[in-house]
Structure 1
Amino acid sequence: MASASRDEFHLIVPNESQSAEVKLGSDVTIPCHLSPEISAVDMEIRWFKETDCACLYKKKEVIEGRSYQGRTGLSTEELNKGNVSLNLREFKESDMGVYLCQVISEDRTEEIIIEVEERKDSDGQPVNQSSKIQGRQVHLILHESNRTWGENQRMKMEESALMTEFEVNYVKVLHQTIFKVFKNQGKKLEQTELQLKESKTDLERVLQQLETITEKFGLLENKKDLDMKEPQMQQIEKQLLQITKYTEEKQNQLEEKDTQLENMSKQISEKEKLLESTIKEMETSKQQLEALRQEQMRQQELLEKKEQLRISELNEKSKYLEETKSLLEEREGKIKSLEKEKDRLNEELQDKDKRLKDINAKLIQTVREVEKKQNQLQGKHTQLENMHKMLSEKMRRPENKELEASQPDEQETKSKLEK
């Protein structure tokens, strides 16, 4: 055996996976060993089937789980070799499942999860298809599992182990108390029997002395001797009365002791009934605790769902707010660009207004010039009319004179018009 420190070990399943062909109702060993191979005699070993304590080894004593009475155990001879395997008697189909082996050494705790399952073919069906009756062959696979245990399951496991240890210790203390009471009563009864035997011996001795005296002195034939022995006879009678009285007292004491023993038996029966009722109450309390735990778990699940829903709503609102924020930022960008465009347009409008003012000023000046030109044209038009009138008057004069006179006038008019 290796001489490694007890603080340096871990648990293993030999050969990692084991396969076995067993019959329902036969014995099965769920393997588990310490590595390196050190002694586990002074350690605490706990085996769980799911959350139910199947077997407990503590203070060099093996305690069977409440649901596994007479069916589980450890090989105490193999503990010094580091073998902490669970021996399971009268194997049932319900025994298949996940097991947790926990080994505690001072402040160090190591554990391993082992799954016991039936081998299945490629279609997922059990290899042995016979009917599920006692004695049928089952092909088992025992291997290490990566199953995890939640906090609530851990609490149930601790509670199951504590209940198993508590019930055993309570029954043990009760049995020890009953044994001590019976032992003390037995000692007193033996002392009373010895005293009765001594009293009986004394009585037989006195009777023998009486017979000896009677035979020796012939009390029935000699009245004189009888009178002489009368004080002795009276003394003997007194002794006989005392012995009889003592015997009756002892008999009464024995009867009282018997009564006390009967009362003790009744008290023990009542205590056993009280123990059974206490265990039932504990079972009821455990069921109530389980119901409360389930209700708490349900409430916790509801709270978690509400929390998740609230978180999802918050996420959606946050997403909506982010989208709204991005839209607002986009709108602010658009507004800024619009403001810039507005400023640009205002500048353009100002430029255009300035240009329009300049154009208006030029137009006004042009209008004034046009009006001045119009006035000039009107003046010239008036002159033309006057000239036309003059021409008309001259046309009334003789033609020769008119021709002579009109030529220079026409030339003058043309020159004026050209001007």
Structure 2
Amino acid sequence: MCLAPGQEDAGDIAPAEAWWEMQRLEVLDGLRGYFLVFMVLNHLSFEGGYLLVKLNHGELGYVQDAPGFVFLSGLLMGQVYGARMKKQGYRAGASRIYQRVFELYRYAAGCVLAIFLLGFLLSESSVYWEPWLWQLARNDWGFALAAAALLYQPTYLDILPQYIVYLALSPPLVWLCVTGRWVPVALGSMMLWLAVQFGVHLPLASALDAVMGALHPGLVLRAHFNVLAWQLVFTAGLVLGCLSSTGQLSWRRVFDPSRQGLVQAALCITGFFMLCRLGMTWGLLPEAMQARLRAVEIRAEFSLMFLLNFAAMAYLVGWVLVAGERSASRFVRRTGEGLRALFTLPFLRLIGRHSLQAYVWHVLVIYLLKAVDYHHGPFHELTKTAIAVAAVASLALPALLQEARAAPTAAVGTSPSLPEAPSRASE
């Protein structure tokens, strides 16, 4: 059992851990902001592509933005509502979670509606949006109803529906973790992930497609992320968040600088897959090996390749942030300082604090810029870069608007004992 933070002597906490205890929410906000920035860059679509997107951690391996975003959602969810349930009981925590579910649904449905209405205003939208919307681009009412029911998810709007599902089912899971019964939660999550990897879910998916097709011709379930597989990422974050918020886990023990075994294993995993990814990119691997790698690179079902990469990279980043300051290696100490400086940048923390609003905004920006590129492109490379930078900078607009709206309430209200859900998209 790890010691809770309150069980340690204040003088025993090293500067790195003291810094982490004071600023971990800022770092987590910065991490979410970092993922949002690269979501914009990865989702932008220009005729002929563009070079700026190549400056991307995703080019060096199989760790992408979506798993980090989903994991942090679960982690903050567990931290905030785990503490709330421990202090106020199950009913109080569950009530706030369900309020959050309805808020997220309003944003998801509102974004679909906004794109639907923009389709009427923009000429030829059914042409350039068709790959992203399919029958929605043709104003098919059956597909519109399925989208409202979260069963038909337009491209780039697929994270919110799965998060709504996870959040709606999470209250009993949070309660189990808070009361010390986290092992069944973790095992159940792993079994669901395994079921997807071996195709146990396929009969259910086929039956759902058949029912939807019977209700409306051509209608099928459309979701890029398999909700039964990706729940592993969210649940892992939720369990860790609950355990840390209730004192059942200490990050000091998890990221102990004296324990080098896990760090070395994580480095080996990330290094191996980095070589594989670069070999694929530059065509250096034999065709038989490339075919084998493509066969296991199943992002939609979060295959073992993505699980190993994410777990290894998450541990490395966490270790460097929390324990790197005490490392005997100067390189590790400097790397930790660099990461802390990066993830506490004001811009990243700003958009991370309001990641729900920033995420929805980014979807609208991506769709609108697709129209701009279709009607006015192709653009010069410098113009593409300028547009991409402007798109990233625009993420601050919804965040600043949200803070401006919240400022009068904060001025007249009292400070809550726990972070309020509306201020954080992933809680």
TM-score bin (small chain): under 0.3
In proportion to residue count, which structure has more strand? 1
Greater RCO (CA < 8 Å, at least 6 residues apart): 2
TM-score of the two chains, using structure 1 as the length reference: 0.18
Q: TM-score, normalised by structure 2?
A: 0.18
Select the structure of larger CA radius of gyration: 1
User: Larger % of helix: which?
Assistant: 2
